[in-house]
Amino acid sequence: MAHLHPVILSGGVGTRLWPLSRSHFPKQLLALTGDRSLIQDTARRATGPGYTAPIIVCNVEHRFLIAEQMRATGVSPQEILLEPQGRNTAPAAAVAALIVAEKDPDGLLLLMPADHVIRDVEAFGRAVDSASVAAAEGYLTTFGIAPTSPETGYGYIQRGPALYGNEKSFSVRRFVEKPNRATAASYVEAGDFYWNSGMFLFQAKSFLAELERLEPALLAQCFAAVRDGRRDLDFFRLDAKAFEACKSISIDYAVMEHTAKAAIVPVEMGWSDIGSWEALWDASDKDDAGNALMGDAVHHGSRHSYLRSEGPLVAAVGVENLIVVATKDAVLVSRKDASQDVKKIVEQLERDGRELHVTHRKVYRPWGTYEGLDMGENFQVKRITVNPGAKLSLQMHHRRTEHWVVVSGIARVTRDSEVFTLKENESTFIPLGAKHRLENIGSEPLQIIEVQSGRYLGEDDIIRFEDSYGR
């Protein structure tokens, strides 16, 4: 039996789930419906006999976060491919298929967006088994979700006759764009239309053959991006010039809507693409009044609402059909049926030159995190957490000094020619122009409070002497 290579597509930024999802920490990296992030759940559901280690295609900015989340959940990817710029799903699938075809000519690709929820993993596994049979015969197989309502936010696929010898897989009669509500209702009533899940299963060589026929220039650019790419630590950087020359196009538009080899496996598996706060409310556990409560959130007399806090207490009284989400630096209040338009707020923030759509107050780095606590004229206070065994780059500042106070853990400090240890309740001072480095030499996270003082406190004042892993 051919090996099944999971390919996790992690290129989105999830603007509709702002303020929780931001471009430097998008929704697939968030634990939205349980203890694990969406990408961790995606990786874990495609493990076991017959599966290889996954290939992950992601934004270069997210590489260390994804690598750390995979490590934390016990998954060792066979490749983490870094896109220099997002180019939609067809180029991402093509580079993964080229790598698999080189290693495993008969290998199957299971393409999965990183940000979907699947409640019934056993049903998912059965659908993968059926799709694998069709894919081994050369079909390019997609998964159709049995519709539960006339949704207008999804594309639809109409099935044709069952494939010979595989009654759970069907030919595709047609793909249709997102319909209006009346048309969507007619599709649901017809019984042979399914939501387009955006998940696919096919042989690498079959997909590449169709791509060569339909989009030869795109395939050539993807080939060059892999050929001229380079290894960087645990990652593979696709060649920027070649990949950025690729057309930005989805698998549907590039191949699936034009091939005679398209097949569909219908499935009911508790699927959601979590495309809005309303969709997340729908996928969440609720109380008897239909409220989903996350974090420090309470209510009185409220109904059918989603209340979530990542910071201060959220208290709602007598509200109905609302989304209320609080982070440490922003609060969103929206009617549930208007939550698709949250992206308009993100667009406004971007136009206004604000950073609230880019980063959280807590910023993640390969070595740990830092979080802004307070700032004013000529000073800034941060909480820095350094993971066990991790260190910041050797660096220097010309326009600010720093005071470090160890809250917990054991720090090794380099300050010019001095190297010394600091423990809990001990502190040190980093003067202007001193080369310095902070390391965690303990087995627990190192937490320090840093007070910066000077006439300029921005990132441009950092001169690094080694790697790019610093703040």
Question: Could you give all domains of the chain from N- to C-terminal order, each with its CATH number?
Answer: 4-272 (3.90.550.10), 278-349 (no CATH), 362-464 (2.60.120.10)
Query: Which DSSP string corresponds to 98-142?
Result: HHHHHH-TT-EEEEEETT-EES-HHHHHHHHHHHHHHHHTT-EEE
pLDDT at position 388 is: 94
Structure tokens at 267: 């499935």
pLDDT at position 471 is: 43
Residues of the chain with pLDDT under 70: 1, 457-471
pLDDT at position 413 is: 96
pLDDT at position 465 is: 65
Residue 50: HSE in the Cβ half-sphere, 13 Å Cα cutoff: 12
pLDDT at position 457 is: 61
- CB-based burial of residue 387 (10 Å sphere; 0-12 exposed, 13-18 middle, 19+ buried)? middle
Backbone angles phi, psi at 204, to 5 degrees: -60, -45
pLDDT at position 365 is: 83
pLDDT at position 105 is: 87
pLDDT at position 469 is: 43
pLDDT at position 360 is: 84
Structure tokens at 122: 């056993």
pLDDT at position 153 is: 85
C-beta of residue 7 within 8 angstroms of C-beta of residue 96: yes
Integer Cα distance of 125 and 346 in angstroms: 37
